[in-house]
Amino acid sequence: MSSTSDNTPVIRITPPGKWEVIDFQELKDYRDLFFFLVWRDIKVLYAQTIMGFAWAILNPLVQIIIFSIIFGKVAKLDTDGIPYLLFSTVAIIPWSYMSEAMSRSSQSLVSGQGMLGKVYFPRLIFPITPILAKLVDFSISLVLLLAVMLYYRIAPTWNLLLLPFLVVLMMSVPAGIGFWLSALSIRFRDVKFAMPFVIRMLIYSAPILYTASSIPDGYRFFYSLNPIVAVIEGYRACLLGTPIPWEFILPGTVVSALLLVSGAIYFRKLERVFVDVI
Amino acid sequence: MSNDTIAVNVEEVSKVYRLGVKEQSSEHMVQMLWGFVRSPLQNFRKYRALYTFDDIDLDGKEQSDDILWALRDISFKVNKGDVVGIIGGNGAGKSTLLKILSRITPPTRGNVSIHGRVSSLLEVGTGFHPELTGRENVFLNGTILGMRRKEVARKFDEIVAFSDVEKFLDTPVKRYSSGMRVRLAFAVAAHLEPEILIVDEVLAVGDAAFQQKCMNKMQDVGKEGRTVLFVSHNMPAVTSLCDRVVWLDHGRKVAEGPAQEIVGKYLLEGVETTAHRVWKDPSSAPGGEFARLCEVRVVSESGEIVGHCDIQEPIGLQMEYEVLKGGEVMLPHFRLRNDNGVLVFVTLDHDPEWYQRPRPAGRYVSTAWIPGNLLNEGPHFVECNLMTRHPDIPQFHLADVVSFAVTGSMAPGTARGDWPGRLKGIVSPALEWRTEFSEG
């Protein structure tokens, strides 16, 4: 019998305060829970609606139409020769994903506080769940993107090979922000009030409705530090076959990696006291 | 060396909470405006203070008013296979201790190590989503409680059978009655198979029949040789489920030991009297012209002095006295009161040997045996009297001279049948029951 005790897991519970690294093994042990929480988010999202998953298309569609009328037809913004509808669709679809994943992820701990106080599992599961669950909406809305591209007869180029990398980058931005803000919002509910308006502002921080080339040269570097710029410009180049803007993608990738790592560290530092500050 | 046998080791665990910090009130307009400007900074400090205690000397003599020690230097060990109960009044720190053991909140100081796969059950139905069906919620809740998907799938039929909601498995849980929801949730919880199970008082849910089912399930878990930590207010449940008990009061450990003994002490908490009183000095002993009291004891069947007994065991009230002047008929008698001060019974000596017979001078020990299965659980207080007959002259008369606690049991053969809750009433006799059955 004593030989079996060698592999008994030992849990040590100590006072908080130490910096801790992410326990990937533990996250792996909880993968079934991960799966069910993501699946719950997906399943519950459009429960008791008539349109169901069509909402995943309708939402960006309405935005695209409105922006195309206002900025394309009325204000006649310059888009480097790309039809405005195509120009904005390519950007708004990843942006919808990022903005929704960001706001859900930031609120994940506050909305999950019932579970937080009653059961233990790796707390990082909370902010990561919406990042994964929202990918379903994103995939569905790609149908819309495909339709617009077909309409303008855009042929795929070798740039499309960049897509998997862009999807990862697109997920890491809201994940990094989600780690930071979910940990902050459990302490300060200000985040909840700031979030909608920050997201409304952020849409103007990246070349979603206008071109990146309209930014004066002197400010380009600061502009490129915004990882959302990298994602949006990356998607345009990848789907429309324009030259790949490495000057945006490289700094954006570095910043988003920094955001992700620092967010995860901050989250881990605070996660043990979450329950005491709810 | 003995590490192989320890399942949970709690070492000097303390938990400090900060109570609400008083808001400053402003006396005039300028102060108010200044306060408004400064408030973000103050709020920041206030929220940060909730979990940092750097500014306070926790060991200092002067304790700040806004500090609450939910737990203070708690240490105990739980061996593998033990079923340990945690008891205590409201605010004793039981729930905080469970939350620390479940890794929901960290201790402020001290360490805990847990050896083995652990599941904690602080609530039934954690993570239940009203929009999901019963089937979906079983899987979700099962994985939240730490089961693997395969494990849930394997036990699925058992869980459903236990819950009695087969017909509604594909209905969203929001359409369930609250009873059905609880049954389904408990069914999932009951099929957890960790090495160490931490349970809060989740038994206090559902209807009587379901409570009983849960109780039986809990008993099975204990018998399977798993380590269980169980917090409860239900003393009969604690004494019958647990081997050992840890008693907490205001964050401190009061006592730890065998379940019977500690529950007995807990029930007698605040009671000054004990199971034994002796008057060594005859001059100060209570007594009259004819007799004097020496000792009063509460004894078990084997003659040991005991402060508590199981509801099924007989217990003896014993007085030792000296008859100073022989030739009188003596009548020793006891009165028994419960903790509400209600008189349970009066019993007078009717030993045939001394019936109406004058007693010679000397030392006597008279014992009144209370049979098992008569008294209800709880503390009892003994009044000890002796008087002469013809004429009736009281010799001594002492109220609440000794006390003892009767602890309940879930074992078969008591008045409670298999009902888990507290039984009302002054006594709790296991009467003879017969039920006749005729077909049609």
Domain boundary, last residue among B224, B250, B267: B267
B260 in any annotated domain: yes
Q: Searching chain A, which residue's CA lies closest to the CA of residue B48?
A: A187
> How far apart are the C-alpha atoms of B144 and B131, rounded to whole Å?
17
Please list every residue in chain A whose beta carbon sits closer than 8 Å to the beta carbon of residue B50.
273, 276-277
Average pLDDT value over all residues in chain B:
85
> How far apart are the C-alpha atoms of B382 and B337, rounded to whole Å?
7
Residue B246 scores a pLDDT above 70: yes
Please list every residue in chain B whose beta carbon sits closer than 8 Å to the beta carbon of residue A273.
50-51, 105-106
Phi, psi of B339, deg, nearest 5: -70, -10
| Tokens 């060594």 -> residue | B280
Q: Which residues contact A130 (CB under 8 A, 6 or more apart)?
A: A41, A100, A101, A104, A105, A108, A178
**Could you tell me if B58 and B109 lie in one domain?**
no
Strands B393-407 and B308-310: parallel
**Could you tell me if B81 and B102 lie in one domain?**
yes
Pick from B82, B64, B78: which is nearest to B20 by CA? B64
- Domain encompassing residue A261: 20-277
Residue B3 scores a pLDDT above 70: no
Residue A86 scores a pLDDT above 60: yes
Cis amide leading into B358 (omega within 30): no
B292 in any annotated domain: yes
Q: Per DSSP, what are the bridge partners of residue B17? A: B68
CATH number, residue B376 = 2.70.50.60
Query: Average pLDDT of B363-373?
Result: 94
Structural domain total, chain A: 1
Q: Which of A54-58, B48-52, B93-97, B110-114 has the lowest mean pLDDT?
A: B48-52
B14 in any annotated domain: no
**Could you tell me if B59 and B135 lie in one domain?**
no
Reading the block at residue A113, the tokens are: 């506080």
**Could you tell me if B250 and B336 lie in one domain?**
no
The answer to whether A11 contacts B195, with C-beta atoms less than 8 Å apart, is no
The answer to whether B108 contacts A15, with C-beta atoms less than 8 Å apart, is yes
**Could you tell me if B80 and B58 lie in one domain?**
no
Residue bearing the bigger pLDDT, B48 or B99: B99
**Could you tell me if B319 and B261 lie in one domain?**
no
Predicted local confidence at residue A144, as pLDDT: 93
Q: Which of A23-32, B201-210, B276-285 has the lowest mean pLDDT?
A: B201-210
Sheet holding B343-348, edge to edge: B308-310, B393-407, B378-388, B330-338, B343-348
Q: Searching chain A, which residue's CA lies closest to the CA of residue B142?
A: A33
Cβ atoms of A248 and A104 within 8 Å: the answer is no
B362 in any annotated domain: yes
Cβ atoms of A236 and A95 within 8 Å: the answer is no
A30 in any annotated domain: yes
A8 in any annotated domain: no
Cβ atoms of B128 and B185 within 8 Å: the answer is yes
Domain boundary, last residue among B12, B41, B65: B65
**Could you tell me if B282 and B327 lie in one domain?**
yes
Please list every residue in chain B whose beta carbon sits closer than 8 Å to the beta carbon of residue A8.
115-117, 195
At B56-111, the pLDDT tens digits run 666 665 566 677 889 999 999 999 888 899 998 888 888 899 999 999 999 989 99
The answer to whether B47 contacts A188, with C-beta atoms less than 8 Å apart, is yes
- Domain encompassing residue B215: 71-267
Q: Per DSSP, what are the bridge partners of residue B256? A: B246
Predicted local confidence at residue B1, as pLDDT: 39
**Could you tell me if B400 and B339 lie in one domain?**
yes
At B303-346, the pLDDT tens digits run 999 888 889 999 999 999 999 988 889 999 999 998 878 889 99
Cβ atoms of A267 and A179 within 8 Å: the answer is yes
Reading the block at residue B59, the tokens are: 């060991």
Please list every residue in chain B whose beta carbon sits closer than 8 Å to the beta carbon of residue A42.
none
Residue B128 scores a pLDDT above 80: yes
* ipTM of the complex, rounded to two decimals: 0.84
A12 in any annotated domain: no
A2 in any annotated domain: no
Q: What angle do CA B157, B159, B165 make, to 5 degrees?
A: 90
Q: How many CB atoms lie within 10 A of CB B380?
A: 25
Tell me if residue A166 falls in helix, strand or coil.
helix
Average pLDDT value over all residues in chain A:
89
Please list every residue in chain A whose beta carbon sits closer than 8 Å to the beta carbon of residue B175.
none
B78 in any annotated domain: yes
- Distance in Å, alpha carbon of B273 to nearest chain A alpha carbon: 41
Structural domain total, chain B: 3
Phi, psi of B143, deg, nearest 5: -70, -30
Q: Which of A32, A40, A48 sits opposite B149 (nearest CB)?
A: A32
Predicted local confidence at residue B56, as pLDDT: 63
Query: Average pLDDT of B172-178?
Result: 89
For residue A52, give the amino acid letter: G
| Tokens 């570095």 -> residue | A254
The separation between CA B329 and the C-alpha centre of its own chain, rounded to angstroms, equals 45
Cis amide leading into B391 (omega within 30): yes
A109 in any annotated domain: yes
Predicted local confidence at residue B37, as pLDDT: 76
**Could you tell me if B228 and B86 lie in one domain?**
yes
Predicted local confidence at residue B26, as pLDDT: 61
Q: Which of A12, A37, A121 sits opposite B111 (nearest CB)?
A: A12
Q: Name the band, by pLDDT with cuts 50, 70 and 90, for residue A66.
A: very high
The answer to whether A43 contacts B132, with C-beta atoms less than 8 Å apart, is yes
At B16-40, the pLDDT tens digits run 887 765 555 666 777 777 777 777 7
Tell me if residue B4 falls in helix, strand or coil.
helix
- As a whole-number percent, the residues of chain B with pLDDT over 70 amount to 89
**Could you tell me if B44 and B161 lie in one domain?**
no
At B220-235, the pLDDT tens digits run 777 787 888 988 877 7
A37 in any annotated domain: yes
B434 in any annotated domain: no
The answer to whether B50 contacts A276, with C-beta atoms less than 8 Å apart, is yes
Residue bearing the bigger pLDDT, B34 or A31: A31
The answer to whether A15 contacts B131, with C-beta atoms less than 8 Å apart, is no
Q: Searching chain B, which residue's CA lies closest to the CA of residue A33?
A: B143
B204 in any annotated domain: yes
Domain boundary, last residue among B244, B267, B290: B267
CATH number, residue B256 = 3.40.50.300
**Could you tell me if B309 and B227 lie in one domain?**
no
Phi, psi of A255, deg, nearest 5: -65, -40
Query: Average pLDDT of B259-264?
Result: 85
The answer to whether A114 contacts B126, with C-beta atoms less than 8 Å apart, is yes
Cβ atoms of B160 and B187 within 8 Å: the answer is yes
The answer to whether B103 contacts A115, with C-beta atoms less than 8 Å apart, is no
Please list every residue in chain B whose beta carbon sits closer than 8 Å to the beta carbon of residue A12.
111-114
Q: Which of B4, B105, B143 sits opposite A32 (nearest CB)?
A: B143
The answer to whether B115 contacts A10, with C-beta atoms less than 8 Å apart, is yes
A7 in any annotated domain: no
Residue A270 scores a pLDDT above 90: no
**Could you tell me if B259 and B126 lie in one domain?**
yes
Q: Is A2 exposed, middle or buried (0-12, 13-18, 19+ CB in 10 A)?
A: exposed
> How far apart are the C-alpha atoms of A88 and A138, rounded to whole Å?
16
B380 in any annotated domain: yes
Q: Name the band, by pLDDT with cuts 50, 70 and 90, for residue A53.
A: confident
> How far apart are the C-alpha atoms of A255 and A253, rounded to whole Å?
5
Q: Is A82 exposed, middle or buried (0-12, 13-18, 19+ CB in 10 A)?
A: middle
| Tokens 């070349």 -> residue | A207
Say if pTM beats, i.e. exceeds, 0.80.
no
At B287-302, the pLDDT tens digits run 888 999 999 999 999 9
Residue B213 scores a pLDDT above 90: no
| Tokens 């139905």 -> residue | B125
